[in-house]
Amino acid sequence: MGRLWQGGRAPAGDQGLRMITFDDVTKRYPDGTVAVDGLSLQAPSGEITVFVGPSGCGKTTSLRMINRMIDATGGRILLDGVDVRTIDPPTLRRGIGYVIQQAGLFPHRKIVDNVATVPYLLGWDRRKARARAMELLERVGLDPKLAGRYPFQLSGGQQQRVGVARALAADPPVLLMDEPFSAVDPIVRASLQDELLRLQAELNKTIVFVTHDIDEAIKLGDRVAVLRVGGRLAQLAAPAELLADPADDFVREFLGRDRGIRRLSFIPGDGLRLRTDLTVPASAEAASARGTAEPWLVVVDADGRPLGWVAREDLPDSGTLAGVPAAPYGAFVRGRDSLRSALDAALLSPSGNAVAVDGSGRVEGVVTRQELDAALARAAEGARG
């Protein structure tokens, strides 16, 4: 059975094959405490499944039962149908990446050797293991010059990146992440989260991610499992669905404020209709612009990039628009940004309309407040909670 988990580099094409199944899993300690109570769910391959909940909800216990750092007392955990309890723990663990809070780097080993830990355990030769480690350092956005340093010479954020690189070193199909970003400051945390999403887009690992931070869960999760104290599953849903339709008061309360606004992040902004008749070049005559019926116009430079809004009634009788001071504008990238970004852009513009730009920052058109209102109304229909 252990043969299945010879770790190492999984052959290409095998990447998406690890599904994790919790089948009525319970963890009861000898003193009677129940940490996890009848948990059944699936973490689909190639997706990020987040376990989120308050302390005492059994999220870390659930995670650690996957690689047998803790053994379940009831039920089964299956990896592609194989019960983890039939696999020798060290063998099992070498095939599963693990990222821990505070990184857990070995203080007595250089960064490169920290990253190469699992390859060494799998018996790779030293040169190959180190070459792989260097490749991974680069992949997680670290300067290769750090390879020869010791962990204490790195910042918390850098250490956490090394922790991610180490977990990926033997290219395991499954990655377990135990509150990996909770010990770093919010700005670093945001960049680590973005980095993880970027990596996941390339690697397609089956990731189980534990956090107590619902915003992190919603940002990272393809699916979010909300657990309540006592280790019971309260709800398992995609983030947008969770925000739109919380299962009960516990989930609603745990999701916190601004649920409606936050849900807009999951609604794409590319369905919004554009008006292209509100855009004028800076070289246009102010007098002719005054002739339109529109109260606000977006002035663009020769490259088509937005300069700002001008109010029709403030326009002078002569000269070009280049000489008119433009009011600040909010813009969103159509095709990439969400309805929330579009709304935000509208709120940042004195006209109440959002400027839509393409990937290189050129104006595609304007989304009016009326169009946004209609989109928000459609979004509200989708929410029942």
Partner 1 sequence: MAEEPLVRWDWIGRNWPEILELVADNVVMALVPVVVGLLVALPLGLAGARWRWFYQPAVGVMNVVYSLPSLAVFIVLIPITGLATRTTVMVPLVFYAMAVLIPAVVDGLASVPDHVRQSAVAMGFTPLRRLLAVELPIAVPVVLAGLRVATVSSVSLVSVGALVGRGGLGYLFIDGWQRQFPTPIVVGIVLVVLLAGAADLLLVLAQRWLTPWASARTAARSGRRGAA
Which stretches of the chain bind partner 1, using CB under 8 A?
A: 7, 67, 69, 89-94, 98, 100-109, 117-118, 121, 150-153, 163, 166, 176
For tokens 């309360």, what's the residue? 253
Of 93 and 219, which CB lies nearer to partner 1 in the complex structure? 93
Choose among 219, 213, 98, 108: nearest CA to 164.
98
Instruction: State in angstroms the smallest separation of the CB of 101 from partner 1.
Output: 6
Instruction: State in angstroms the smallest separation of the CB of 104 from partner 1.
Output: 3
Instruction: State in angstroms the smallest separation of the CB of 12 from partner 1.
Output: 23
Strand 96-100 vs strand 174-178: parallel, antiparallel, or unpaired?
A: parallel
Residue 158, classified by CB atoms within 10 Å of its CB into exposed (0-12), middle (13-18) or buried (19+), is: buried
Of 128 and 305, which CB lies nearer to partner 1 in the complex structure? 128
Instruction: State in angstroms the smallest separation of the CB of 176 from partner 1.
Output: 8
Of 87 and 242, which CB lies nearer to partner 1 in the complex structure? 87
Amino acid in position 52: V
Q: What share of the chain is helix, strand, coil (3-state, %, to 5)?
A: 40, 25, 35
Instruction: State in angstroms the smallest separation of the CB of 125 from partner 1.
Output: 17
Of 149 and 312, which CB lies nearer to partner 1 in the complex structure? 149
Of 103 and 137, which CB lies nearer to partner 1 in the complex structure? 103
Sheet with 82-83: strands ordered across: 34-43, 20-28, 74-79, 82-83
Alpha-carbon torsion angle 216, 219, 221, 225, nearest 10: 50
Task: List all residues 6 or more positions away from 17 whose beta carbon is below 8 Å from its beta carbon.
Answer: 45, 80, 173
Choose among 194, 235, 248: nearest CA to 216.
194
Of 30 and 291, which CB lies nearer to partner 1 in the complex structure? 30
Instruction: State in angstroms the smallest separation of the CB of 10 from partner 1.
Output: 15
